[in-house]
Amino acid sequence: MDRKAFHAKIAAMGSEFSPELIEATNAMLAPLLPAPDEARTTRDIAYGPHERHRLNLFRPPFDKLRTDTPAPCLLFVHDGGFVMGDKGAPGAPFYNNIGAWAQKQGFVSATMNYRLAPEVRWPAGREDVIAAILHLAGHAGEYGIDPARIVVMGHSAGATHVADTVAAPGAAAGKFAGAIMSSGFYDLGSAVRDPFKPQYYGDGEDWSPMSPLPGLLESEIPCLFGVCEYDMIECQQQARLLADAWLAAKGRWPVIHVQAGHNHISAARQVGSPVDSFGPVLADFVASR
């Protein structure tokens, strides 16, 4: 499928989030995605005691390692509305695509699971991201990672967990060099009360105290944001709030990339495919840390 045909199909689906949009987008992308080099992949490494405290580690093949110097590492935090989602089983297209793509770039990468609502509530996602960062930093030598060049990336609910981590890094302070947030929720005060978020944020009237936005604005950690042309309207409104608040607080725009011809599902699932326009932006950000 060429880019023109792919983007035309995405455009025709529009931005309203539905099971049909999810299935159709997945069906288009799955056959286009590269598979990781399994010989350089280690699955289900425990970074904590819970059964969801597991990450997959993808190391670049030896011919991609320029020297024996350690590589940057991208830690990916999946989506799923705080209540579902997965880092990628063997043979699954998503998010093994992140690992396969990173192997080609010469980066180490990891895709992590985390505890889900309603079993856990805010800020469990942040706690798990912090634990995974500390695991990678603590095993940097073993995994071939430069511990000064760990970048964490999340999509949708995963982006919100990353934003929470930037806002309040706790024990991970100084342990990651950048953060990428794709189609996330940053201002909980204006977040849509869909069937999922209350399972993570509770039934309270005001979610504002759980918003990562104030802490994001105070942080000096380099951030890259993404949102899609055909993203959920809520994500587009969140991006607008973020951009306005960032410009007001910092005197400049946030680094935000609006993906032409992509929707909420293709945003991170395109990475590594022949229609991938996000990967080069991610690669540049990671390589620059």
Residues that bind its own copies (CB under 8 A): 2-4, 6-7, 15, 222, 224, 227, 229-231, 233, 236-237, 239-240, 243-244, 247, 251-261, 275, 277, 280-281, 284-285, 287-289
Amino acid identity at 95: Y
Minimum CB separation of residue 285 from its own copies in Å reads: 6
Minimum CB separation of residue 230 from its own copies in Å reads: 8
193 dihedral zone (left: phi>0; alpha: psi -120 to 50; beta)? beta
Give dist(CA 167, CA 28) in Å, integer. Answer: 35
- Residue closer to its own copies, measured from CB, 50 or 257: 257
- Convert 168-208 into a string of H (helix), E (strand) and C (coil): CCHHHCCCCCEEEEECCCCCHHHCCCCCCHHHHHCCCCCCH
206 dihedral zone (left: phi>0; alpha: psi -120 to 50; beta)? beta
- Residue closer to its own copies, measured from CB, 98 or 132: 98
- Residue closer to its own copies, measured from CB, 218 or 284: 284
Give dist(CA 86, CA 141) in Å, integer. Answer: 27
Cα angle, residue 277 at apex, residues 177 and 94 outer, rounded to 5°:
75
Minimum CB separation of residue 124 from its own copies in Å reads: 30
In b/e form, how buried is each residue of 81-115, taking b as 16+ CB within 10 angstroms?
bbeebebbeeeebbbbbbbbbbbbbbbbbbbbbbb
Minimum CB separation of residue 117 from its own copies in Å reads: 28
- Residue closer to its own copies, measured from CB, 56 or 259: 259
- Residue closer to its own copies, measured from CB, 261 or 272: 261
- Residue closer to its own copies, measured from CB, 172 or 275: 275
Minimum CB separation of residue 277 from its own copies in Å reads: 4
Residues 6+ apart with CB under 8 A from 152: 74, 75, 77, 129, 133, 162, 165, 176, 178, 179, 180
Minimum CB separation of residue 34 from its own copies in Å reads: 17
Cis peptide upstream of residue 95 (ω within 30 degrees of 0): yes
| Distance, CA of 224 to chain centre | 11
Residues 6+ apart with CB under 8 A from 195: none
- Residue closer to its own copies, measured from CB, 53 or 149: 149
- Residue closer to its own copies, measured from CB, 171 or 192: 192
Minimum CB separation of residue 89 from its own copies in Å reads: 30
> Cβ distance 87 to 55 under 8 Å?
yes
Minimum CB separation of residue 91 from its own copies in Å reads: 28
